[in-house]
Every structure is written in structure tokens, then in C-alpha cells.
Amino acid sequence: MIVEVLQDFPSAKIPLEYIPDMFPELQPRQYSISSSSKAHPNQIHLTVAIVQYKTKLQKPRRGVCTKWMSGLRPDACEIPVIITRGTMRLPISISTPIIFIGPGTGVSVMRAFIEHRVYEGATENYLFFGCRYHDKDFYYQEQWNRYVDERKLKLFVAFSRDQGKRIYVQHILRDNAKLVYEILDRKGHVYISGRSDNMPNDVMNAFKSILISEGKMTDEEAEKYMIRMEKEKRYQQEVW
């Protein structure tokens, strides 16, 4: 970011001795593992979007880490990694119904969870996935369709740019309100992963509206229900 600013404003001159203070070391990048160790022994899969955009001055910019990763070739080098425990935990019982919500690359951790659940024999997996375009961004489409055909997954998708009206995951949650409420009423779990912009709040509000419309709750009762779900670890999210 500092380099980009200096390139945009070349009149700025920085004394050489200030450089070490102004340019800190690059910090490690953290990515959610998008594969199950049981489904892919001795492998780690990542789902990474290449950062590429233009500044307000219309100058092209690319992410430092994702640009480097996109140029890697198989067996060309070794990559140092550190594996840390995630914040979300699956329930012990495979009979517990689970709603997975992972728009965009947020589907990464959902893939790992669903692969693990399918390997263990769980069938009540409900994935709500959203992206911009069906033909460009439908990550793991073939795998999801195979699970659907095997009756191990129920898939609900929203493509926000493929039609005139923009549709997101919170909209398809409301479109399936009866099913969603039934899952919650059976002590089902909810897992959410993705960008920490408007999505987490929009999804939370969708659940509250479903509790009100299908569960005949008041606004206050729906609010307390969601708080209780979070305390019981039935509603977990990992956003960035």
C-alpha cells in the first residue's frame, strides 16, 4: 500500500534511513483449508481469489501473495506454512442437520466441513452458496452436483449478476423459510463463512425474519433465540 501511494504521488521524497521504519515486514497470509483430511489424506486444498483491481487513478494493482501464488508451478518450490486451529467446530453427531452458508470464497471452509460429513456418512447437509456469475464463480460445482445426485447434499444457489435483480444468500434463505425453520426447530446448526461486510448481518436478519414468519415469534423472541443459538455453538461464523 505504501509503495502504491508513492507511485501515485512521485513528488514525495523519503530519506533512505526512514525506509526500514515505513516498510514493515510482510505478515503471513491466513487462508481457510478447503479440504477434509479424511477425503484427501496428506493434502491441503485452498480456495483463493486472485486480488486484481484498478485504483481510483485507474492504475492496475495485484495482491502481493495471490500474485505470487498464481505464478507457482507444481514441484517448483517448497512453501513454508503454519497450520492453526480454526474457530468453528462441527457437532459430534452426524445426524445433526447443518445449514452451511458460504458465498464466494467463503465456501472454502464449507467444502472441508461437507467433505468430512459426507465421509462420515452424514446426509443432512444444506449448502447455501452465492456468487456473481454461474459460469465464472460457481466453485466446486461438479462436486456439489455429485453430492446432490448421491443424496448427501441439498444445494441452494444465488447468482447476483446473472439476472436483472441481484439475489444473495439471504434472499434464498428467505425463499426456503419453511425448510430453514424446520432445521432450526430440530436443533440444527448454522455455519457462515465469507466477507465481513454486509453479509453476516444480512444473513442474521434473514434468520430472524424466518423465526418471526414461520415460528410466529416476536422480534424480541427471535433476537433471544439467535443469541441462545450462538451461546450453544449452534450458530458459528468465520468472517474476514
The count of domains in the chain is 2
Q: Are 189 and 99 a contacting pair, CB within 8 Å?
A: yes
pTM, rounded to two decimals: 0.89
User: What pLDDT does 233 receive?
Assistant: 97
Give residue 155's identity as a one-letter amino acid code: L
Evaluate whether residue 83 is within a structural domain: no
Q: Are 114 and 193 a contacting pair, CB within 8 Å?
A: no
For residues 25 and 27, give the distance between their C-alpha atoms in angstroms, rounded to a whole number: 6
Evaluate whether residue 84 is within a structural domain: no
Q: How far, in whole angstroms, is CA 176 from its chain's centroid?
A: 20
Same domain assignment for residues 121 and 53:
no
In this structure, is the dihedral angle defined by the CA atoms of residues 121, 122, 123 and 126, taken in order, positive or negative?
A: negative
- Scan for cell 452465492, then name that residue: 130
In 3D space, the residue among 128, 226, 237, 141 whose CA is nearest the CA of residue 172 turns out to be 128
pLDDT < 70 positions in the chain: 1, 57
The packing angle between helices 199-214 and 177-185, to 10°, is: 80
Evaluate whether residue 91 is within a structural domain: no
Pick the last residue of a domain from 29, 54, 70. Answer: 70
User: What pLDDT does 47 receive?
Assistant: 95
Same domain assignment for residues 153 and 108:
yes
Same domain assignment for residues 108 and 227:
yes
From start to end of 55-183, where are the E strands? 60-62, 98-101, 125-131, 154-159
Same domain assignment for residues 135 and 215:
yes
User: What pLDDT does 1 receive?
Assistant: 64
In 3D space, the residue among 106, 134, 115, 126 whose CA is nearest the CA of residue 173 turns out to be 126
Element (H, E) at 105: none
For residues 179 and 143, give the distance between their C-alpha atoms in angstroms, rounded to a whole number: 23
Same domain assignment for residues 157 and 223:
yes
As given in the structure block, the three cell numbers for residue 153 are: 447434499
User: What pLDDT does 39 receive?
Assistant: 95
As given in the structure block, the three cell numbers for residue 73 are: 508451478
User: What pLDDT does 28 receive?
Assistant: 85
User: What pLDDT does 108 receive?
Assistant: 96
For residues 71 and 28, give the distance between their C-alpha atoms in angstroms, rounded to a whole number: 18
Pick the last residue of a domain from 53, 70, 87. Answer: 70
Evaluate whether residue 79 is within a structural domain: no
Q: Rounded to whole angstroms, what are the CA distances from 12 to 4, 200, 231?
A: 12, 40, 51
Owning domain of residue 23? 2-70
